[in-house]
Structure 1
Amino acid sequence: MKVKLAIEALKHLPGTQFICCSSLYSSKPMGAYEQPDYVNAVAMINTLLEPLDLLDQTQRIELEFGRERKEARWDSRILDLDILLFGNLQIKSERLIVPHYGMKVRGFVLCPLAEIAPGLQLPDGSIITNLVAVIDKDELTVLV
């Protein structure tokens, strides 16, 4: 499974300490395209990399696994690594938005994030467990 291999690749990023990873979660794909269910996880790392350097490294991993950047936003992809948070920084650039713009409404992000950081408070003051309590989790399955 490519997601497990990608998690292993994160463990070897330069200047980075891998802390932990959530369970794997299966979810229905976003958008109108016919494609297989997604497999999602959230990893926690400590890094000496700057945010854009970390983005470069995660995009390098995606390319190594065969990711092709297509124009259709919700098109199928082999691997998609997102930077959800970078400490308490708030970043808005052409290449990177942190906190990730959709994380507060996506169960496939919030549930694994709450699993590894249940006491987390987002930079805007939102509490992760409060966000998880109100999202739809019906189409989210923890993989064994």
Structure 2
Amino acid sequence: MSDTTVLIALGLGSNIGDGHAAVRAAADALARGGVADLALSPLYATSPIGPPDQPDYTNAAATGRTALSPRAVLDLCKRIERDMGRPPGGVRWGPRPIDIDILLYGDLSVNEPDLMIPHPELGNRLFALVPLLAVAPDWPMPAPRGGSVRAFAAPRIIALRDSGQIIRKIY
């Protein structure tokens, strides 16, 4: 842990059990684990990506400040997922009680086999873009993207909606 803090954005999702409660419980666990000044976007219902015949997701984005390193944030997210009943491994894009992804970590770009920041699929996922835009529209995007979250997200949201991805605000 360092003496300085950095702004981070996380994506949260659940489609097993009570999604509202799971997202809120994960946000509380993040706050207890070292993410301060946590702000949670509205909750959204989104259709799943991946295997058919699974329930819709409840998704949100959370922002906050942390002195944890990117690796420590990843470890915290994985620990919370395990504690909330998500088994390690599992079906890619399959149903899960909670999923927590690091979307942004300050202006840092990380490209490691098990840790990529910004999240490599951020621009392709309506369920991540819309909540992030709701909670952090003016945040800067790391290089080489640059610009704000709003400038990054707006054209992509239009294209993703046109492609058939569905999202609706639920709370």
Question: Under a length normalisation based on structure 1, what TM-score does the superposition of the two structures give?
Answer: 0.91
- Listed as ranges, the gaps of 5+ residues in structure 2 are 1-20
Aligned to 1:140: 167
CA distance, structure 2, for counterparts of residue 55 and residue 134 of structure 1? 26
Residues of 1 paired with 2:169 and 2:31: CA distance? 22
Between Structure 1 and Structure 2, which shows a larger proportion of strand residues?
2
1:109 and 2:128 aligned:
yes
Structure 1 position 7, deviation (Å) = 1.1
Which structure 2 residues correspond to residues 57-76 of structure 1 after superposition, within 5 A? Answer: 57-76=76-95
1:93-136: per-residue Cα shift (whole Å, max 9, x none)? 12200000111121111111111111123112143223224423
In the alignment of these two chains, the number of paired residues is 143
How far the C-alpha of 1:71 sits from its partner, in A, is: 4.5
Q: Which residue of 2 aligns with 1:127?
A: 148
Q: How many angstroms apart in 1 are the aligned matches of 2:111 and 2:73?
A: 15
TM-score, normalization: structure 2? 0.77
Task: Return the alpha-carbon distance in structure 2 between the equivalents of residues 77 and 93 of structure 1.
Answer: 24
Give the superposition deviation at 1:60. Answer: 0.6
Which stretch has the larger CA shift, 114-123 or 43-52? 114-123
> What whole-Å deviation, never above 9, does each CA across 1:5-35 have from its counterpart, x for those lacking one?
1111111113x31331101111000013311
Contact between 2:104 and 2:119, CA under 8 Å: does it hold in 1?
A: yes
Q: 1:5 is matched with which residue?
A: 25
Percent of counterpart pairs with the same letter? Answer: 34
Moved more, 116-125 or 96-105: 116-125
